[in-house]
Amino acid sequence: MKLKKFLALGLLVVCLMASIVACQGSDRIVIGSKNFTEQIILGEILAQQIERKTSIKVDRKFNLGGTFVCLTGIQKGELDIYPEYTGTAYGAILKLGAESDPKKTFETVQSRFERDFQLLWTKPFGYNNSFAMVIRGEDARKLNLQTLSQASVQAPRWRAGFGPEFLNREDGFPGLAKTYNLKFASQPRVMDLGLLYRSLQAKQVDIVAGSTTDGLLSTLDLTVLKDDKRYFPPYEAAAVVRRETFQKHPELKEVLDQLGGMISDKTMQELNYRVDGKQEDVKQVVQEFLKSK
């Protein structure tokens, strides 16, 4: 009889311990990111926002790899949240091609991710990390150029410099050239992404394909030409969250949606430059950014 009571008491202790561990585990979430600076900044923004506004503990798993590494991780439950871009989700993950309307793109990925993956999207952060056709500021002022349509008239006298991916990808140069009837003085030069703006400044090329949130755009005399025909798909950034995570922590939705519309293209350029260009600590940069908001 005593042995039975002892065993029953032992079982009760084990159950209590398991319950405590489970509760402790449920108070932690894991945030992941892809393997480039902007993603790490976004991951840190999400982590600090949660830590500031809730009692939830955050584990950071940044710099993981590309899109499908993060997608697989969140589907397996190894991640609870990671930052993603609407255009990437629409074209690369859902294989739906390209769509130029930001609202339609977001609504489609939002509904399909919930239906197909049980993943939810927060409100977009406010900026669009799309391709950017960039020229020297002095040329833009001298020729009074603001749009790609205007620039297409000058293009036959220009030399272009592109990264290898942009030259061939579906939403890159082939479609852009067709949309704007772009013809350059010679075949576009393929170069390392890190050399694009340096080559532009050195007048080795006259137009390059960069990104709207590149850090150097906030510091150099460069002009991003407006995509007036809306060729490039929207790449609005937002957080993707497991539905089970929101169910366990319903307070997270409001906390994360508070980041909606908070980051402009210009702000993301500056944050990228501080971390990439000036080698500042990402946690400090994010802390100052959130404090300013």
Do 30 and 123 lie in a common domain?
yes
Do 75 and 108 lie in a common domain?
yes
Considering its fold, how many domains does the chain have in total?
2
Residue 10 pLDDT exceeds 80: no
106, 87 Cβ separation under 8 angstroms: no
In a domain, 229, yes or no: no
Q: How many CB atoms lie within 10 A of CB 102?
A: 18
Residue 11 pLDDT exceeds 80: no
Do 170 and 217 lie in a common domain?
yes
Do 143 and 214 lie in a common domain?
yes
Give Cα separations from 256 to 17, 31, 71, 174, 243 (angstroms): 32, 13, 19, 38, 14
* pLDDT tens, position by position, 196-239: 999 999 999 999 999 999 999 989 999 999 999 999 999 999 99
Average pLDDT, the chain: 90
Give Cα separations from 270 to 105, 157, 198, 216, 244 (angstroms): 26, 32, 18, 8, 34
Number of continuous H segments (helices) and E segments (strands) in the chain? 14, 10
| Mean local confidence (pLDDT), 126-151 | 97
∠ CA 210-213-217, rounded to 5°: 70
DSSP character string of 81-121: EEEEEHHHIIIIIS-------HHHHHHHHHHHHHHHH-EEE
Do 139 and 194 lie in a common domain?
yes
CATH of the domain at 193: 3.40.190.120
Token pair listed for 210: 């960069």
Q: Long-range CB contacts (< 8 A, 24+ apart) of 91-95?
A: 91/170, 91/171, 91/233, 92/67, 93/67, 93/68
Do 194 and 259 lie in a common domain?
no
Do 54 and 181 lie in a common domain?
no
In a domain, 287, yes or no: yes
Q: Note the pLDDT of residue 15.
A: 45
Separation CA 87–CA 73 (nearest Å): 20
pTM, 2 dp: 0.81
Separation CA 47–CA 248 (nearest Å): 17
Q: What is the dihedral of CA 147, 149, 154, 157, to 10 degrees?
A: 110
| Mean local confidence (pLDDT), 259-272 | 96
What type of residue is 262?
A: M
Domain of residue 211 covers 131-224
Q: Is 5 helix (H, G, I), strand (E, B) or coil?
A: helix
Report which of 119, 27, 107, 106 is spatially closest to residue 73, judged by C-alpha positions.
119
Q: Which of 185, 201, 224 is the last residue of a domain?
A: 224
Handedness of CA 177, 178, 184, 186 (dihedral sign): positive
CATH of the domain at 55: 3.40.190.10
